[in-house]
Amino acid sequence: GRQGCQIDFENVSFAYEGASGDPVLKNINFTCLPGETIGIIGSTGSGKSSLVSLIPRFYDTSAGTIRVDGVDIGKLDPAKLRDQIAIVPQKSILFSGTIEENLRWGNEHATLDEIMQAAKMAEAHGFITSFPEGYETMLGQRGVNLSGGQKQRLSIARALVRKPDVLILDDCTSALDTTTETNIKESLKSFASGVTCLLIAQRITSVMDADKIIVMDDGEIVGIGTHETLMKSCRVYVEIFQS
Ligand code: DGT
């Protein structure tokens, strides 16, 4: 297995090029220790997806520094950096091909055994093997129709097949019932002990047991702490909790 990375954001600001120029992230500071699970919560448009998209350098910061294991990511080889980090996006991207091919995407060397292990952790093995052709089942136009939740579980499995140092789940459990979500989080704890995990969520229950939770509001961090601390100290967090 791989070791988790430390991630540091230092005075990071960010604006999309060509947009109004208003920063969507303002003066972001936090540290994520190796192996920690950090929850990120905040209303729609508050900047959660933008924040995590800076880590593999899908975009470059407008100001400030992001460090992975102490090194400015601007000085790292982008290919190596992206190899360490797996992001499961909000909308799963599956292509026409077999389930096995879809899960191997991003790690060509993965064995079927490793793929099945990842699918088990992502609570996908059961529904995959319920198809007559199992892992050979075709997806896409001429293939089976999957539910939103099944697609999310395949996307999570695909990320696990890559054995990343940093696993970022961008609100990708929204279509799952809470039991399935809890089961996946339990398996991640054993697999991902050591893996640094960033977990964007809409529901407080999805991030409650994270080591710490970042609360975003309008491009800024308005609270960082455990569920208990934030319930006592962060108005925005309490509002999300009550909504
Ligand atoms: P969500 O996914 O609805 O919960 O929202 P967040 O919190 O993930 O927010 P985010 O980072 O998607 O959006 C923050 C702001 O940035 C919002 O005003 C929309 C804008 N934005 C997001 N993606 C893009 C993009 O690709 N281009 C431009 N120009 N603006 C974007």
Report ipTM (2 d.p.). 0.97
Q: What is the mean pLDDT of residues 53-59?
A: 96
**Amino acid 2: pLDDT:** 61
**Amino acid 111: pLDDT:** 96
Tokens representing residue 21 in the block:
């120029």
CA of 225 relative to ligand 1 center, distance in Å: 24
Q: State whether the Cα torsion 109-112-113-117 is positive or negative.
A: positive
Q: What is the mean pLDDT of residues 23-44?
A: 96
d(CA 179, CA 68): 33
Grouping H, G, I as helix, E, B as strand and the rest as coil, residue 149 is helix
Question: 219 CB under 6 A from ligand 1?
Answer: no
Residue 90 has pLDDT above 90, yes or no: no
Residue 20 has pLDDT above 80, yes or no: no
Question: 19 CB under 6 A from ligand 1?
Answer: yes
Diameter of the chain by CA atoms? 53
The answer to whether the CB of 66 falls within 8 A of the CB of 7 is yes
Q: What is the mean pLDDT of residues 178-205?
A: 86
Of 14, 16, 206, best ligand 1 pocket probe by most atoms within 8 Å of the beta carbon: 16
Which of the residue ranges 4-8, 44-48, 88-92 would you say has the lowest mean pLDDT?
Answer: 88-92
Question: 58 CB under 6 A from ligand 1?
Answer: no
CA of 100 relative to ligand 1 center, distance in Å: 32
The answer to whether the CB of 85 falls within 8 A of the CB of 125 is no
Tokens representing residue 5 in the block:
């990375």
Q: What is the mean pLDDT of residues 178-185?
A: 89
* β-pairing verdict for 37-42 and 220-225: unpaired
The answer to whether the CB of 199 falls within 8 A of the CB of 170 is no
Of 25, 49, 87, 200, best ligand 1 pocket probe by most atoms within 8 Å of the beta carbon: 49
CA of 47 relative to ligand 1 center, distance in Å: 6
Residue 75 has pLDDT above 70, yes or no: yes
Q: What is the mean pLDDT of residues 81-104?
A: 92
Which of the residue ranges 101-110, 182-191, 219-228 would you say has the lowest mean pLDDT?
Answer: 182-191
The answer to whether the CB of 206 falls within 8 A of the CB of 220 is no
Residue 172 has pLDDT above 90, yes or no: no
Q: Which domains does the chain have, with CATH numbers?
A: 7-242 (3.40.50.300)
